Amino acid sequence: MSAEIKVPTLGESVTSATIARWLKQPGETVSVDEAVVELETDKVSVEVSAPEAGVLGPHEVAEGAEVEVGALLTVVEAAGAGSAAASPAAKPAPAPAPAVPAAAAPAPAGQTGGIQPPRPTSGPVARPATPPSDVQRPAHDPLPAAQKMMTEKSVEASTVGEGTGKDGRITKGDVLAFLERPAQPAEKPAPAKAPARTDDPREERVKMTRLRKTIASRLKDAQNTAAILTTFNEVDMSAAMKMRTDYKEAFEKKHNGARLGFMSIFVRACISALKEFPAVNAQIDGDDIVYRNFVHMGIAVGGPSGLVVPVLRDADQMGFAEIERSIAGFGKRARDGALKLDELTGGTFSITNGGIYGSLMSTPILNPPQSAILGMHKIMDRPIAVAGQVVIRPMMYVALSYDHRVVDGKEAVSFLVRLKESVEDPRRLLLEL
């Protein structure tokens, strides 16, 4: 008995995948639920496991090939199966060649009648080919009347094409039909191809992963489609940092190890501002604008294959602790390549934090079909004026990139101002101010 391993259902709108690498080779023993092959889709990598224990059969698809959902990848031969199942089946003996009649042999000595005539056969008898009754003329050879007209009109036989006369010869009617055709524009010469690039010996050429190609395509589509504009503000992180310091241990103890970070503060501040300015949470659908009365918050996290944006569904219904636990889980699964496809779709607004890599300021690109994305950055001590005095405060630049087709400048700037107020005084979030 053998069990087939096929390409599983990969999620909504995903119909194919690429064989990233085979984790097991033909003939190797595999156990139940052991990963056999890694597939790469437009969004994440997926490992396909063995449905039962046994010996792995041959690979039906090579690494790097694209496969459809449901395609056969390999089989697992049940443990203890006979060796005949593992070895190739014996090939059937070739059919005997048809008998060829032997040439007539001379009669044995003493037998009268001389050489025996060959026996008649029921098959067709080959006859000598008859010579053609007519000499084959070359294709496009014009008839005399057609040749005369072509000479007068300076027309070449090759431009008229194959004629309608016998053996494809061009007739006078073919020439007249050719002359009545509308003039065809001259074909433009094909653009010269760029010379092939010669790699330097010190360079390394690596094929783009499917995920990287998808990220590149989606970001470029966003730039080509949306009217992207970015507005900036700065946030004094003093109050948020003090709250975190004062309640970090109590928060972690109360919520079973969940660590209090800045992301939950920014998520809650964004949710508060999105409720006040719903256009920032909307999207364009054809000639309509779709406004959402909920928030599915995308949180950009870095993985080994690139940036992915898992989604906190109904984030507006979550508290600080649940937000922190969910974000920590996303980060771990992204590093392990274990994010599920349904965790990466359906976001209505996104946050990306370049500050963890040291970015001081940037202009994030939209995550289609969303209409806005918030960029967080590095916290740096800077001198600022407070009540007429120059003081040193931990400051962060924040950036909101938005689709100007949906969001007006006033709404975008007001959104950032409301975010700034909430982060600089987190008590506003508790009081829903």
Q: pLDDT tens per residue, the chain (433 residues)?
A: 788 888 888 765 677 888 888 888 998 888 888 888 888 776 667 888 888 888 888 998 888 888 888 888 898 887 665 444 444 444 444 444 444 444 444 444 444 444 444 454 444 444 444 444 444 555 567 776 678 788 888 888 777 777 776 667 787 777 877 877 766 555 666 666 667 777 788 888 888 877 778 778 888 888 888 899 999 999 999 999 999 999 999 999 998 888 888 999 999 999 999 999 999 999 999 899 999 999 999 999 887 767 788 999 999 999 999 999 999 998 888 888 788 878 888 899 999 999 989 999 999 999 888 999 999 999 999 999 999 999 999 999 999 999 999 999 999 999 999 999 999 999 888 877 6
The tokens for 291 are: 């406004």
Q: Judge residue 61's burial from the number of C-beta atoms within 10 Å of its C-beta, 0-12 exposed, 13-18 middle, 19 or more buried.
A: middle
From the centroid of its chain, how far is CA 240? 40
Pseudo-torsion of CA 199, 202, 205, 206, nearest 10°?
180
* CB atoms closer than 10 angstroms to residue 262: 17
Pseudo-torsion of CA 110, 112, 113, 115, nearest 10°?
-10
CA dist 174 to 51, 144, 154, 186, 377, Å?
Answer: 69, 13, 15, 22, 75
Strand partners, 49: 35
* Dihedral (CA of 176, 182, 184, 185) sign: positive
Phi then psi for 75, rounded to 5 degrees? -130, 160
* pLDDT score for 295: 95
Question: What single letter denotes the amino acid at residue 106?
Answer: P
Q: Which of 221, 314, 336, 408 is the catalytic position?
A: 408
The tokens for 25 are: 């080779």
Between CA 61 and CA 5 the distance in angstroms is: 12
Residue ranges per structural domain of the chain: 2-79, 218-431
Query: Which CB contacts under 8 angstroms, 24+ apart, belong to 222-227?
Result: 222/365, 222/366, 222/367, 222/368, 223/365, 225/368, 226/366, 226/368, 226/371, 226/403, 226/404, 226/405, 227/403, 227/404, 227/405
Listed residue (308, 236, 279, 303) closest to 413, CA to CA = 279
Q: Are 44 and 340 in contact (CB under 8 A)?
A: yes
The tokens for 149 are: 């007209």
Question: Among this protein's residues, is 296 annotated catalytic?
Answer: no
- The answer regarding whether domain 218-431 maps to CATH 1.20.1250.20 reads no
Is the whole-model pTM more than 0.85?
Answer: no
- 3-class SS at 231? strand
Question: Among this protein's residues, is 174 annotated catalytic?
Answer: no
- 3-class SS at 197? coil
Assigned CATH for 2-79: 2.40.50.100
Q: Judge residue 226's burial from the number of C-beta atoms within 10 Å of its C-beta, 0-12 exposed, 13-18 middle, 19 or more buried.
A: buried
DSSP 340: -
* pLDDT score for 139: 53
Give the angle subtended at the CA of 370 by the CAs of 368 and 371, to the nearest 5°. 115
Q: Which of 134, 314, 404, 425 is the catalytic position?
A: 404
Between CA 301 and CA 335 the distance in angstroms is: 9
Q: Judge residue 339's burial from the number of C-beta atoms within 10 Å of its C-beta, 0-12 exposed, 13-18 middle, 19 or more buried.
A: buried
Only one residue has tokens 């006859």, namely: 127
The H or E element containing residue 302 is strand 301-303
Phi then psi for 388, rounded to 5 degrees? 80, 5
Between CA 20 and CA 35 the distance in angstroms is: 13
Pseudo-torsion of CA 389, 390, 393, 399, nearest 10°?
100
